[in-house]
Amino acid sequence: MTFPDGFLWGSATSAHQVEGGNTNNDWWDFEQNPASAARWSSGDGIDHFHRYADDFALLASLGHTAHRLSLEWSRIEPAPGQFSRAAADHYRRVLTALAETGMTAFVTLHHFTLPRWLASRGGWLAPDAVSLFARYCARVTAEFGDLMPYICTINEPQMIALHGYLEGYHPPGVTNPALWRRVGGVLLDAHLAAVPAIRAAGGLRIGLAVQLPLLAGSGSFVDVMRHEIVDRYLDGLTGVDGGDWLGVQYYRKQWVDASSPFFFAPPPQDVPVTQMGWAVHPDGLREMLHRAARVGLPLFVTENGIATTDDTERVAYLRSHVAAVRQAIAEGADVRGYLHLSAFDNFEWSEGYRPKFGLIAVDDDFTRRPKPSAYAFADIIQED
Ligand code: BGC
């Protein structure tokens, strides 16, 4: 079976992971803080801020028909209510260059980073965080709505809450179960407030990107995890205007264990793991696509990928996960695209530049070198 007509193929990045020089957000501060979980500074990123046009041309030459990127809120609104003309002009040039390649843009408005001014007011716990986010969303839609055929409000609300407020692994580095659950709810509210704000500003197809790991285990703590990570969002998008599509991001199977550090047990000995120590389990993607289908929206795989220095592992991961998508479609899931993470080796948050998620390597002088997996992906796209 081939993929449905118009199925979109491409890769994903986010601003802070590739642009470089994002010094005005909460992540930059977290990276500079020796007491935080972050081991590196994002520094110059891969200088995508200046090299975006060549990067898009390279991805298009590899057969990609879509590309996902994010806008950096702290550049667009560097101080509360002050919107930067220069940043808006920059992103208009970026999105125009992307459109000129013919690739369909998926534009994320919030991918992990918060402007420093908002973080200092309490971030997602600030009393007006939801309305400030909706205002920012309306503003960027008014600026670039014509260049954003697919808008993703928030990347992985569950991971923002989990990593930032339960594990202390992302900013603000808090470990508080009550705040973890509260922030999860705030982020769902923020998405639901952004949808009408974006529609009113003339925005096109609006979605939310959720990471849906296959969670193993049983017991009350597992139920809490499953609720906070999976069901809260799938239920919360059902029966309301939750947008026009849903992004499913899948990497791994995880064994929930309340007594382990970070609340997950390491994978069993016989399970293959990645550079991140994550368990490879392609059928989990098929399963989670079916789970996500219950929301009733068209689905896109907006992230899926592997950190490895052995590119043959990436080729195998790519093939097995694309096969899982194909099977989910054959079984009835309405999946309309697959975006691999990442386009490039880039800044992998608290793990810095060590994990290699890219289809394309980046040398110290910023030279881009497509790996064999980039060409294997091009073949998969061509066979479709
Ligand atoms: C994030 C990406 C990240 C990937 C791999 C996802 O949680 O959206 O930014 O690179 O996981 O860790």
Q: For 186-225, how does the pLDDT look when each residue is reduced to its tens digit (9 = 90+)?
A: 999 999 999 999 999 999 999 999 999 999 999 999 999 9
pLDDT tens digits, one per residue of 5-41: 999 999 999 999 999 999 999 999 999 999 999 999 9
Mutation choice for ligand 1 from 156, 314, 339, 351, CB with most ligand atoms inside 8 A: 156
Closest ligand 1 atom, CA of 342? 10
CATH entry 3.40.190.80 includes domain 8-383: no
Q: For 237-289, what is each residue's pLDDT tens digit? A: 999 999 999 999 999 999 999 999 889 999 999 999 999 999 999 999 999 99
Our answer on whether the CB atom of 211 is closer than 6 Å to any ligand 1 atom is yes
What's the predicted TM-score (pTM) here? 0.98
pLDDT above 70 covers what percent of the chain?
100
Span 41-81, pLDDT tens digits: 999 999 999 999 999 999 999 999 999 999 999 999 999 99
- Verify whether ligand 1 is closer than 6 Å to residue 155 (CB atom): yes
The C-alpha angle with vertex 345 and arms to 113 and 118, in degrees rounded to 5, equals 5
The answer to whether residues 76 and 124 touch, using CB atoms and an 8 Å cutoff, is no
Task: List, in sequence order, every beta strand (DSSP E) within the chain.
Answer: 8-12, 66-70, 104-110, 150-155, 205-211, 214-216, 245-249, 253-256, 264-265, 299-303, 335-341, 360-362, 368-370
Bridge-partner residues for 206, per DSSP? 151
**Is the model's pLDDT at 344 over the cut of 80?**
yes
Q: How many CB atoms lie within 10 A of CB 344?
A: 26
Question: What mean pLDDT do residues 122-148 have?
Answer: 98
What is the 384 CA–ligand 1 centroid distance (Å)? 26
Examine the pLDDT at 1 and tell me if it is beyond 70: no
Determine the length of the chain: 384
Interval 265-278: pLDDT, tens: 999 999 999 999 99
Query: 326 in helix, strand or coil?
Result: helix
Per-residue pLDDT, averaged over 162-184, amounts to: 97
Query: Which residue has the CA at smallest separation from atom 3 of ligand 1?
Result: 348
Mean residue pLDDT across the chain: 97
Quick one: pLDDT at residue 156?
98
Task: Report, as an integer, the average pLDDT of 79-95.
Answer: 98
Position 261 scores a pLDDT of 81
Residue spans per domain, the chain? 8-383
Task: Check if 156 is active-site.
Answer: no
The verdict on the CB of residue 134 being under 6 Å from ligand 1 is: no
Catalytic residue among 31, 156, 228, 303: 303
pLDDT band with cut points at 50, 70 and 90 for residue 2 = confident
pLDDT for the residue numbered 354: 98
Instruction: For residue 176, give both structure tokens.
Output: 């508080």
How much is the CA Rg of the chain, to the nearest whole Å?
19
* pLDDT at residue 64, as a whole number: 98
Please write the tens of the pLDDT for every residue from 300-309.
999 999 999 9
Using pLDDT thresholds of 50, 70 and 90, give the confidence band for residue 384.
Answer: confident
CB distance 158 to ligand 1 below 6 Å: no
* CA proximity to 70, closest of 130, 127, 119, 112: 112
